[in-house]
């Protein structure tokens, strides 16, 4: 397995969808290539950091009232047709 193939397979490796033999080649590559080990680490970290932006959201489960009103109001004109 080349470094290019290794990087192509990372997402599938992470969600466990590589075949057993692909998985073996993947882990063998890791044993001899520190560049790819570092790439995998930073790739994972990038995913984790992306997720972090969501966890910290103060996501309101409710629509703000003024937005709700604006949406319902703007429906009215088309009712007159």
Please give the Cα distance from 76 to 73 (Å, whole number).
Answer: 6
Choose, by CB under 8 A, the member of 24, 27, 28, 41 that binds another protein.
41
**Does residue number 28 form part of the binding site for another protein (CB under 8 A)?**
no
Q: Token digits for 76?
A: 């009215």
Nearer to Zn ion, 27 or 69 (CB): 27
CB of 12 to Zn ion, least distance (A): 16
**Does residue number 38 form part of the binding site for another protein (CB under 8 A)?**
yes
Q: Token digits for 38?
A: 């570092």
**Whose structure tokens read 């969600």?**
15
**Whose structure tokens read 């075949």?**
19
**Does residue number 80 form part of the binding site for another protein (CB under 8 A)?**
no
Q: Which of residues 15-44 bind Zn ion (CB under 5 A)?
A: 33, 36
Please give the Cα distance from 36 to 73 (Å, whole number).
Answer: 56
**Does residue number 7 form part of the binding site for another protein (CB under 8 A)?**
yes
């Amino acid at each position: 397995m080349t470094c290019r193939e290794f990087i192509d397979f990372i997402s599938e490796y992470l969600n466990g969808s590589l075949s057993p033999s692909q998985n073996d080649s993947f882990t063998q590559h890791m044993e001899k290539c520190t560049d790819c080990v570092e790439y995998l680490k930073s790739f994972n970290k990038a995913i984790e950091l992306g997720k972090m932006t969501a966890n910290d959201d103060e996501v309101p489960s409710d629509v703000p009232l003024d937005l709700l009103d604006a949406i319902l109001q703007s429906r009215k004109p088309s009712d007159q047709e």
